[in-house]
Amino acid sequence: MRSGFLVTVVAQAQDAYHTRAVVLVDAMKATLGTPDEIISTRDCESVHVEMEVVPEDGAVVLRATLDCEAPKAIKFDKNKFTAELRKHLDFSVKVTKRQIGPEEFQS
């Protein structure tokens, strides 16, 4: 069974877009480096993550698509993810998450 999530992280950039973008990507990598806490990956046969960072209305927006293949549906704990991500940041962020269906995956 394929489970997918779109996670969006938004941080105000002012004039420091590049610096904030790099820090956000590093924080995301560090947070997803230990996914068992955030995604129930014990049963995952494979996990694929794609990230993009774009400027949007004076903010840095990081969008990450998590694609998990497993025998059963996978859960994503947004609260644990947000808490872990914030440990790696010295600025505030807004985090949203939504589950995506198989029709939204790029093959």
Per-residue pLDDT tens over the stretch 59-99: 999 999 988 888 887 788 889 889 989 999 999 999 999 99
> Which of 2.40.30.10, 3.60.21.10, 3.30.70.260, 3.40.640.10 would CATH assign to domain 2-101?
3.30.70.260
User: Are 10 and 61 a contacting pair, CB within 8 Å?
Assistant: yes
pTM of the model: 0.84
Listing DSSP states for 29-40 in one string gives HHHHTSGGGTB-
Sheet hosting strand 46-56, strand order edge to edge: 46-56, 59-69, 2-12, 94-100
Structure letter (DSSP) for residue 93? -
List phi, psi (to 5°) of 3: -120, 140
What is d(CA 68, CA 79) in angstroms, rounded to the nearest whole number? 19
Per-residue pLDDT tens over the stretch 4-34: 899 999 998 777 888 999 999 999 988 887 5
Q: Could you state, in order of their start, the residue ranges of all structural domains in the chain?
A: 2-101
